[in-house]
Copies of this chain bind each other. A is one copy, B any other.
Amino acid sequence: MPNREYKQTGEKILGDILTPSSIVFFGASNNPMTFGTGQFLNIINEYRRNVYPIHPKEEEIFGVKAYKKVEDTPEDADLAIMVLPTHLVPKFLACCGEKGIKRAIIISAGFKEVGEVDLQNEIISIAKKYGIRFLGPNCIGICNAYENLNTTWIPYFPKKGGISIVSQSGTFACHPFPYFIENGIGIDKSISVGNEADIDIVDCLEYLEDESNTKAIAMYIEGIKRGGKFIEVARRVNKKKPIVVLYVGGTEAGSRAGKSHTSALSGPDHVYDAVFKQCGLIRAYNIEELFDYSLALASQPLPKEGRIGILTDSGGSGAVMADTCERMGLNVPTLSEDTQNEIRSIVPSIATVTNPIDITTDFDVSHFYVEIPEILLKDPSIDGILLYGLFGPSIFKRFFKSAKTEIDGLMPMYLTMLDELLNLCERYRKPVLASSFIGRRDEEVVAYFQDHDVPVYPSPERAAKAMSALVEYSRAKRKEKSDR
């Protein structure tokens, strides 16, 4: 019994929820050992607007003035967030309605997902009566990186970026935030939809369709309720911006877990696979792939075809990237004689220049970071580049740790080169994906790449697979065009 009759589009509604100018918060206390308090602290730690905690007894909650009742708050807040015991939700949702609050995030669980269908219907009725539109229940809330607003209980704030997340699991809407930070992954918005008693994943897609910061959409799906509408909307949105989907529910245990989790009714894997294919969506098979693919799609231009140039300073990484590319249906063509000669003229004689290009012991790092990338980018028979071997000043700092010598002034030299490479990427409009076993906290070069929208993956194969997602989306778009 969702609120369909007065529903036009998810756009304005989710806009209100994701960018409120004031929030009333139910469920925070001065006891730090509750989820609600954690979520409240997460909000007040970063969000620079008005937040009004509602509490029957406390005067203040962690330094913020508290109100006994929502009626007492000095303004009609844009958004109510509820982390209340289940049975209190209907009553306080009605209070919000009386106060004129039209948007809510109901985080409390214990509704349809545990069989309490009537209770879920009760909150739907109350919402309808007051014209309240809401996310949840049984969700984790939202994060809007561009507004410094994180209503989840994960106290990590990913940087601003191009990925928006729509998730039927609260876990995947926020738990990966520390992983995002470690890997330089930026997000726009993250939306946990929970039981979808009102707003559902289709609304989220419609909302994100026109959000200009959203460059790619990562979806975690346990079951689609409005199948026909999903296909219509996903197909339309996917033409404008890529959608990557992780679907869980195709196995017996996965389906059982999903059902008890968000009451989602899952279907056989092949049915969902057909739906995703029909819409041109990119399918991921695990959570890392979901974000690996989204990251590439959110930040890189699309390759014309799947002819990939591989540049490394080590043979093994070249071999596994080439192998992965071919297994994923990409080509790693032998370079033309001209291109090979051009590269051969600048690298040591033992280097390999066919493709993969392995510069081995070449210590002139400008070859790796600038000159060879340019040769590959300008080659019309290469559509995208994979890089492995982002070594920089960190290595030298570690060598000389005990030897008491210091390597100064190296980073400015690297920065000059990296900026040149970024300019080349801009000029040639071909995708460049990198990989490294050293993370951004230990290697400034990795951080610089990531901070300038060149993804750096934690292993060479993952970069190669992400490249295949770019090619797949590019092909789907081209097919879409030729079908018209």
By a beta-carbon cutoff of 8 Å, the part of chain A in contact with chain B is 32-35, 37-38, 41-42, 44-45, 62-63, 86, 109-110, 113-114, 153-156, 167-172, 175-179, 182, 220, 222, 246, 248-254, 256-258, 260-262, 286-288, 310, 314-320, 322-327, 331-332, 334, 349-350, 352, 354-356, 358, 360-361, 363, 395-396, 398-403, 405, 407, 437-439, 441-442, 458-462
Q: How far is the CB of A46 from chain B (nearest CB, A)?
A: 8
Q: How far is the CB of A173 from chain B (nearest CB, A)?
A: 8
User: Does A350 lie within 8 Å of B114, measured CB to CB?
Assistant: yes
User: Does A326 lie within 8 Å of B252, measured CB to CB?
Assistant: yes
Contacts A114-B350, A398-B156 given: A45-B403 contact, CB under 8 Å?
A: yes
Q: How far is the CB of A353 from chain B (nearest CB, A)?
A: 9
Partner of A315, one of B35, B170, B316: B170
User: Does B287 lie within 8 Å of A461, measured CB to CB?
Assistant: yes
Q: How far is the CB of A208 from chain B (nearest CB, A)?
A: 20
Partner of A250, one of B38, B253, B323: B323
Contacts A439-B182, A461-B288 given: A257-B222 contact, CB under 8 Å?
A: no
Q: How far is the CB of A318 from chain B (nearest CB, A)?
A: 5
Instruction: Please indicate the chain B residues that have their CB under 8 angstroms from the CB of A402 in the complex.
Output: 41, 44-45
User: Does B396 lie within 8 Å of A32, measured CB to CB?
Assistant: yes
User: Does A175 lie within 8 Å of B326, measured CB to CB?
Assistant: no
Beyond A249-B323, A260-B352, 10 extra complex contacts between A and B, CB < 8 Å? A32-B399, A45-B402, A167-B316, A171-B316, A253-B355, A254-B322, A257-B352, A257-B356, A261-B315, A288-B459
Of chain B, the residue at the smallest CB distance from A356 is B257
Contacts A32-B405, A315-B260 given: A326-B437 contact, CB under 8 Å?
A: no
Partner of A326, one of B86, B251, B326, B407: B251
Q: How far is the CB of A185 from chain B (nearest CB, A)?
A: 12
Partner of A34, one of B37, B167, B358, B363: B363
Residue among A41, A167, A462 having the largest count of chain B Cβ atoms under 10 Å: A41
A sample of 5 inter-chain contacts (CB < 8 A) reads: A109-B360, A155-B401, A246-B320, A253-B355, A260-B352
User: Does A41 lie within 8 Å of B461, measured CB to CB?
Assistant: no
User: Does B167 lie within 8 Å of A286, measured CB to CB?
Assistant: no
Partner of A459, one of B286, B325, B358: B286
Instruction: Please indicate the chain B residues that have their CB under 8 angstroms from the CB of A356 in the complex.
Output: 253, 257
Instruction: Please indicate the chain B residues that have their CB under 8 angstroms from the CB of A260 in the complex.
Output: 315, 352, 354, 358
Residue among A45, A171, A405, A439 having the largest count of chain B Cβ atoms under 10 Å: A171
Of chain B, the residue at the smallest CB distance from A352 is B260
Q: Given the complex of chains A and B, what is the CA–CA distance between A153 and B363 in angstroms?
A: 13
User: Does B41 lie within 8 Å of A171, measured CB to CB?
Assistant: no
Q: How far is the CB of A62 from chain B (nearest CB, A)?
A: 5
